[in-house]
Amino acid sequence: MLGKPFTFSLDAVDGRARAGTFHTPHGPILTPVFAPVGTQATVKAVTPRDLTDLGATLILANTYHLYLRPGDELIRDLGGLHKFMHWDGPILTDSGGFQVWSLSSINRIDDDGVTFRSHIDGSSHRLTPERSMGIQQNLGADIIMCFDECADPANYDYLKTALMRTHYWASKCRDVWRNTDEQALFGIVQGGVFEDLRTESCRALTELDFPGYAIGGLSVGESKADMARTLEVIDPLLPANKPRYLMGVGTIQDLVEGVARGVDFFDCVLPTRIARHDAALTNFGQINIINAKHARDDSPLDDACSCYTCQHFSRAYLRHMAKSKEILGATLLSIHNLHMLVQLAQDMRTAIFEHRFEDFASQRLSQLGCKPLKETS
């Protein structure tokens, strides 16, 4: 079914953990992979050169935000997202569905789409599966998402209705997409934390034979145990020869446990968001650099980290940046946090090839104070 630019090879397997390669027109994506989020055609506080230097290979941009500002047609006329934001690697865009439900004032949801008011100026807009696809085609990302309804993961009755609508919209998105060689369309598995709904969603979407599958509706308030259990349900139901993308998940623990349950792609705003609030990810947990104990600390954020920040700057300097509210502080913390997750994905890939993933994962979870992997399943 796939056009030549989009092929996925499963290169190694260790338990449920997978290492693969997804080929795109803008280069291969080696999985597992963490994608920094560039919501408005920019990863906040860092440059495209920084992203390349820290090893990022895939970034995400947001359909809802770019549709509202500066407009998808403007971006199309200026050469598409790659040229507009000067990023030569693969780009993924989401459908805009999650932001419609989480940011805007919704006026009406029906089987054809959603009418909502912009969070920017209150203007009225209509987003349908066809319109979402048109916007994403104008943006020109390599990987695009079906329009879906992200509902309360614990509301079973409403989730049933939302699931039928999501599957109907997925078929309409597929009709618009028409197996183009220029973009790969992923269906989005929904169903909250309910096994029967997730099973039904996997069945309906795999029948549509998408190039890949996203897992939505997780990391939205459910427990870690519920997320892990849901991923375990989904894993054997999705085609082994297609990539799987867990949307909006970005802690060290979540990446490790996600890969252990068959996930290939991850994205999240967390590493750059917490950086702007003076927090850093480390192998032993998250720290707040503004704490007084770091005032005279000449050590890096993490002794095992090889990022630009850790190789050149001390905790004391980073605390000074944070206390002084210098922009450079957010940049340096963002570089470090992104590098931690990008490098973690690469390290997991190596561990899968060397058939030592369970030991690697259990060690990383133990450092964070979490249960070893074999006790989480």
Active site residue ranges? 94, 267
Indicate the SS3 state at residue 108: strand
Burial track 97-135 (b if 16+ CB lie within 10 A, e otherwise): bbbbbeebeeeebeeebbbbebeeeeeebebbbbbbbbb
Buried (b) or exposed (e) across 3-32, using 16+ Cβ within 10 A? eeebebeeebbbbbbbbbebbbebeebbbb
Cα(100)–Cα(131) distance, integer angstroms: 13
Element (H, E) at 81: helix 81-85
CB 276 within 8 A of CB 45: yes
Q: At what angle do helices 129-139 and 156-177 cross, to 10 degrees?
A: 50
362 touches 329 (CB < 8 A): no
* Residues 133, 130: Cα–Cα separation, whole Å: 5
How far is it, in rounded angstroms, from Cα 256 to Cα 250? 10
Tell me if 134 sits within 8 A of 176, measured CB to CB: yes
User: For residue 228, with 0-12 CB atoms within 10 Å meaning exposed, 13-18 middle and 19 or more buried, which class applies?
Assistant: middle
Sign, Cα dihedral of 112, 116, 118, 121: positive
Distance CA 130, CA 144 (A): 13
Tokens of 280: 């850093």
- Among residues 271, 274, 253, 236, the alpha carbon closest in space to that of 56 is found at 271
SS3 at position 173? helix
